[in-house]
Amino acid sequence: MTAASLLRRLLLSVPTLFGVLIINFVLLRVVPGDPIAMMIGPGATPEDIQNLRQIYGLDKSIYQQFLLYLGDFLSGDLGTSISMRQDVVELIVGRLPVTLELALVAIAISLVGIVGLGITASIWKGRWPEVLIDVFSGFVQAVPDFLWALLFILIFGVLWASMPIFGRMDLAVEFDPLTQFYLFESLFRGDLVVFRSILMHILLPALSLALPLIAIGARLLKSSINESMAQDYVQLARVKGFSHFRIVVSQAFPNALIPTVTLTGVQMTFLIGGTVLVERIFGYPGLGNMAIDAVINRDLPLIQGIVLTFAVMFIVLNILIDMTYAFLNPRLRHD
Amino acid sequence: MALTAMTGSWLAPHDPLEQDLLNSFLPPFWVAGADPAFLLGTDNLGRDVLSRLIYGTRVALMVAVIAATLTGMLGTTVGLLAGFFGGWVDTLVSRMVDIWMAFPAVLLSIVLVAVIGAGLHAVIIAIIVIDWTRFCRVVRAETMVQCQQDYVASAVTIGLSRRRRLFVEILPNILPLLISLLTLEMGIAVVVEAILSYVGLSVASDAATWGGLIQEGRLYVNQAPWLMVFPIACIIVAVLGFNALGDGLRSAFDPVLRR
């Protein structure tokens, strides 16, 4: 992707971000009743309420309030959490790496699964491995990540208690991290005991997130490979005497990647959205878990901040997908 | 499942809220120590799991049908208009869809319900507000494809009004697609309701819902794993059932597939 087209793509996301800001702003202003009434405890005097109104700018017109909100956003100020009495940006920066690490592991598992299953199904087309993979992906796709997480808890936590089902690492493990990327940091420092503990904790939540993506991606990859197999260059490779395996892996697969990347890219946003609930179920201390706590505590500034963070992540992810797409497609690369 | 939901109060062997603390954590009937009066066992407060599941079915199906239908109506209308008229209508709708897609659905639904206030109506509103884009995108694209077809051109030639072209000619042709979208959406609605009641934001907390049952079961998963097994199984069966219903209806309605 050239600098010019990248810039164009970035500019295109500005109106989207602006729309996100408007909705995020409106969303928490349609709260029935007074938002201040939810923040304060009983026994507050009318003066207290008036003071809080002033602090949050609620005594101004909606139009002015939005401008204030926009100004705060641009200067990187998302307010102070009501329930934790801490800066919202600080809270988010502390939790975001936890969620990102989980999402990255889930995406890595998905990629391995998609490529493995997609190629296997194409090589043994029309035979039992393909049938098996079709049945598997049909069922897996119908069951959402939320239920996979619960099923894994039942299977690996209770029936065959072999995996940890709560938290991020064993409490007994001693680890003094510098960053919030525990998994990568422990690996980097060569601390294998810690690494193993963290890996065991991340596997089930990551797998719950990955499974639906694997099912969709493997199906797509398989049908794209099958389409590529009908093309002339595959005929040519056959004439040259390439083996079936080599044709699938080195000729059809790279060409099938483009449609698969575009469509699974969209699905990746669902994976990231799914972390909210999966983290909750596994008691994983990420952004999503904090979001649900914030909702339960009616912590409006924190909710707004987290929703915004997710929206920005989605917008960035979409740009990355477009860039990958341009990178994979030579026609667009030389554009 | 529909039958179970309709005849729930008559079918259920016990009151779903009736507590019997002496009989808490009874296992289901095939395990030793079970009480045949409580076929699927009891929970921590001695409430009958089977009855609670049956009452949960009622909530799940109600949300599925109402929410999916309303979502479908909104999304289809907007999608039809965008696809048919094009121009600034289409640009406006597409931009809106883009913005909507930038929000994480699960988080947004939780926030919405928290804002509106817990309850069945909030769950339904949340599903409509979030999922209309799903219908809108597909219907918009399909309407555009249909508008290029010869029959629409003929309709223009014989002077049919725009409204008749849209509702008498194009709408019936996207109906098979709509039906499969609708049943898919019902499955999604069941899951969303379960998610929201799992988080504790759906109907009143003592009422029986599948998600609520799972959440209670999660607390006692080591003592009584069956508390989680049954509601999870119900949701999976419901989702797979709605998918199968969609496939069946589509092949029954689609003249091309029927032949």
State the average pLDDT over residues A17-40.
Answer: 73
Distance from CA of A280 to the nearest CA of B (A): 9
Q: What is the pLDDT of residues A57-86, one digit of tens each?
A: 667 777 888 888 888 888 888 888 877 888
Confidence of residue B150 (pLDDT cuts 50, 70, 90): confident
Return the higher-pLDDT residue of B21 and B49.
B49
Chain B: residues touching A (Cβ < 8 Å):
95-96, 98-99, 101-108, 110-112, 114-117, 187, 191, 194-195, 198-201, 214, 218, 221-222, 225, 228-229, 232, 235-236, 239-240, 243
Interface test with A, best of B110, B223, B226 (most A CBs within 10 A): B110
- Picking from B111, B116, B81, B120, the residue whose alpha carbon sits closest to that of residue B97 is B81
Residues A257 and A328 sit within 8 Å (Cβ to Cβ): yes
Residue B8 is predicted with a pLDDT of: 54
pLDDT of residue B114: 79
Reply yes or no on whether the pLDDT at B5 is more than 80.
no
Rounded to a whole number of angstroms, the distance from the CA of B160 to the nearest CA of chain A is 38
Higher pLDDT, B43 or B67: B67
Contact A310 B194 (CB under 8 A): no
3-state SS, one letter per residue, for chain A: CCHHHHHHHHHHHHHHHHHHHHHHHHHCCCCCCCHHHHHCCCCCCHHHHHHHHHHCCCCCCHHHHHHHHHHHHHCCCCCECCCCCCEHHHHHHHHHHHHHHHHHHHHHHHHHHHHHHHHHHHHCCCCHHHHHHHHHHHHHHHCCHHHHHHHHHHHHHHHCCCCCCCCCCCCCCCCCCCCCCHHHHHHHCCCHHHHHHHHHHHHHHHHHHHHHHHHHHHHHHHHHHHHHCCCHHHHHHHHCCCCHHHHHHHHHHHHHHHHHHHHHHHHHHHHHHHHHHHHHHCCCCCHHHHHHHHHHCCCHHHHHHHHHHHHHHHHHHHHHHHHHHHHHCHHHHCC
Chain B nearest-CA distance from A315, in A, is 6
pTM: 0.85
* Cross-chain residue pair A292–B228, CB shorter than 8 Å: no
Task: Give pLDDT tens digits for A153-203.
Answer: 888 888 887 888 888 887 777 777 878 888 888 888 888 888 888 899 999
Higher pLDDT, B62 or A54: B62
- The per-residue pLDDT of chain B, averaged, comes to 80
If one counts the domains in chain B, the total is 1
Give the chain A residue whose CA is nearest to the CA of B99. Answer: A16
- Find the CB nearest A153 among B101, B106, B221: B221
Suggest the residue from B91, B93, B103 to mutate for an interface test with chain A (most A CBs closer than 10 A): B103
Q: B107, A310: Cβ pair inside 8 Å?
A: yes
R_g of chain B, CA atoms, integer Å: 22
Say whether residue A44 is in contact with chain B using an 8 A CB cutoff: no
What is the C-alpha separation between A221 and A137, in angstroms, rounded? 12
Nearest-neighbour CA in chain A from B112: distance (Å): 8
pLDDT for A321 equals 83
User: Could you tell me which residues come within 8 angstroms of residue A31 by beta carbon, excluding any fewer than 6 positions away?
Assistant: A38, A300, B115
- Residue A298: list chain B partners with CB under 8 A: 114
Is A158 at the interface with chain B, CB within 8 A? yes
Residue A211 has pLDDT above 90, yes or no: yes
For residues B252 and A207, which has the higher predicted lDDT (pLDDT)?
A207
* C-beta atoms of B236 and A272 within 8 A: no
Please determine, for residue B15, whether its predicted confidence score (pLDDT) is greater than 90: no
CA dihedral A152, A155, A158, A162 (to 10 degrees): -90
| Chain B interface test: which of A13, A276, A302 (most B C-beta within 10 Å) | A276
| pLDDT, tens only, B82-108 | 988 888 999 899 888 988 888 888 888
Distance from CA of B246 to the nearest CA of A (A): 13
pLDDT in tens, B191-209: 988 888 888 776 665 667 8
> Which CATH number is A104-288 given?
1.10.3720
A270 touches chain B (CB under 8 A): yes
User: Model confidence over A220-234: pLDDT tens digits?
Assistant: 899 888 888 888 888
> Mean pLDDT over residues B56-67, rounded?
88
Given pLDDT bands bounded at 50, 70 and 90, which one contains residue B156? confident
Task: Note the ipTM here.
Answer: 0.81
Q: Which residues of A touch B218 (CB under 8 A)?
A: 150, 153, 281
| Chains A–B, number of C-beta pairs less than 8 Å apart | 113
* CATH number of the domain where residue B62 is located: 1.10.3720.10
What average pLDDT is seen over chain A?
Answer: 84
Q: Tell me: the pLDDT tens digits for A280-334?
A: 999 999 999 999 888 888 788 888 899 999 999 988 888 888 888 777 776 665 5
pLDDT at B42 over 50: yes
Does A335 have pLDDT greater than 50?
Answer: no
Q: Which domain holds residue B126?
A: 2-258
Whose tokens are 């395996």? That residue is A245
pLDDT digits (tens, 9 = 90+) for A242-260: 888 888 888 888 888 888 8
